[in-house]
Copies of this chain bind each other. A is one copy, B any other.
Amino acid sequence: MFREKFKEGIISARDFTREDIEYLLKRGHEMMEVQSSDILSGKILATLFFEPSTRTRLSFESAMHRLGGKVIGFQSEDVSSVKKGESLADTIRTVQSYSDIIVIRHPMEGAAKMATRFADIPIINAGSGSKEHPTQALLDLLTIKEELGRLDGLNIGIMGDLKYGRTVHSLAMLLSNFEVNLYFISPKELQMRNRYKQYLIQQREVKFKEITNYRKILNVLDVLYMTRIQKERFVDMEEYERVKDFYVFKKKDLKQTQPHFKLMHPLPRITEIPPEIDKSEKAIYFKQTNYGLHMRKAILAELLS
C-alpha cells in the first residue's frame, strides 16, 4: 500500500498520513538491525546533487551499499551537461534510463516534483530550494520516536530560520499528523511563511505558538529542534548579518530543561550550538545522523523492492 501510494517517489511531507509515517517509523526501526543485506542487489541509485551535501548524499549512498545496491551520480552540476545548458527535465529523462531510483537536491523550489513528470522511476526529494526536505523530516521523527518513545503529547520547539529552512517546513508538516504542541521560535524576520501556517491551521488543526525568546518556554519543551541560519538562502546580506547570531544555545540553558529533554539539529551547525554542548546526553544531533542512515535504508527498500 505504501509502495503503491509512493510509486512516484517521496516529494513532499504533505503527502504523508499518520499511517504512512508510522509504517516508515516501524520499517526504520527494523533497519537498525540490518547491518548488511542484499535485498537491493542489482539495483542502481542515482544521486543528482545540484547543491553541496555531506549527510544526505553520503547516507543515501551508504544505505544503498548496505542493502547490496550500487550508486552512480554527480555531486555538482559543473561536471554534468547542465554546464552545457541542458534542462533539468532532460537530465532526469536521461538518468532514469541508467538507474532504478533517483535522489535529487536542487536549488529550485518544485524541482523534485517536476522530476516525477519526466521519470518512470521513483524520485526522492533530497532538498528543493527553501521549500521541502521530507526525508530529513522522516529521520527526525524516527529520532524522536526512538529517543522519547512517542510523538503524541510532546511539546516541540522549532527554532532558527523558519522562513528559508526547508527542513523545518517538512518537519512541521509531518508533525501535524500527531497530537503535538509546536513552538515556532525565530526572530521576526525569519518567521514561518503564512502559506505553511495557514496549511497547519486550516488543513491539520495543529496548535502552534510563535515566539522569539526560547528561554521562556525551555522548561516545558520535550524537544528543541535548532537550525542553522543559512547564508546561501538570503538575497539580502545585511539581513543575514543582522540575524545570523540571533540564537546561540548556552550550556547553562541545559539546566532549565526537563531531564528527558532532547536537543536536535539537522546539521551542519555553525555557531548556534557550541561544541561544549555535545557531551550532554540531551544533545542527540549526532545520533540523529545515525538514525538518518536507517530511515534511508527503509525508504530505499520500500520504494525499490
The residues of A with any CB-CB pair to B shorter than 8 Å are 35-36, 41-42, 44, 46, 49, 52-55, 58-59, 61-62, 65-66, 70-76, 78-87, 89-91, 93-95, 97-99, 228, 230-232, 267-270, 275, 286, 289-290, 292-293
Assembly CA distance A275 to B117 (angstroms) = 13
Closest B residue by C-beta to A56: B81
- Do B58 and A78 touch (CB < 8 A)? no
Q: Determine the chain B residues whose CB is within 8 A of the CB of A93 once the complex forms.
A: 286, 289
Contact of A52 among B52, B66, B72, B81 (CB under 8 A): B81
Assembly CA distance A66 to B99 (angstroms) = 10
- Do A72 and B78 touch (CB < 8 A)? no
- Do A54 and B76 touch (CB < 8 A)? no
Take A79-B75, A98-B59 as given contacts and tell me if A86 and B293 are in contact as well, using a CB distance cutoff of 8 Å. no
Shortest Cβ gap from A75 to chain B (Å): 4
Q: Determine the chain B residues whose CB is within 8 A of the CB of A268 once the complex forms.
A: 81, 84-86, 90
- Do B53 and A97 touch (CB < 8 A)? no
- Do A42 and B36 touch (CB < 8 A)? yes
- Do A52 and B65 touch (CB < 8 A)? no
Assembly CA distance A93 to B52 (angstroms) = 18
- Do B80 and A52 touch (CB < 8 A)? yes
Assembly CA distance A230 to B98 (angstroms) = 25
Assembly CA distance A93 to B228 (angstroms) = 18
Assembly CA distance A228 to B81 (angstroms) = 12
Assembly CA distance A85 to B228 (angstroms) = 10
Q: Determine the chain B residues whose CB is within 8 A of the CB of A267 once the complex forms.
A: 81, 86, 90, 94
Shortest Cβ gap from A259 to chain B (Å): 25
Q: Determine the chain B residues whose CB is within 8 A of the CB of A49 once the complex forms.
A: 79
Contact of A81 among B41, B55, B81 (CB under 8 A): B55
- Do A84 and B228 touch (CB < 8 A)? yes
Take A54-B74, A62-B99, A275-B89 as given contacts and tell me if A84 and B289 are in contact as well, using a CB distance cutoff of 8 Å. no
Take A44-B62, A62-B72, A268-B86 as given contacts and tell me if A81 and B53 are in contact as well, using a CB distance cutoff of 8 Å. yes
Shortest Cβ gap from A293 to chain B (Å): 6
Q: Determine the chain B residues whose CB is within 8 A of the CB of A99 once the complex forms.
A: 62
- Do B97 and A293 touch (CB < 8 A)? yes
Q: Determine the chain B residues whose CB is within 8 A of the CB of A98 once the complex forms.
A: 58-59, 61-62, 293
- Do B54 and A94 touch (CB < 8 A)? yes
Q: Determine the chain B residues whose CB is within 8 A of the CB of A73 once the complex forms.
A: 58
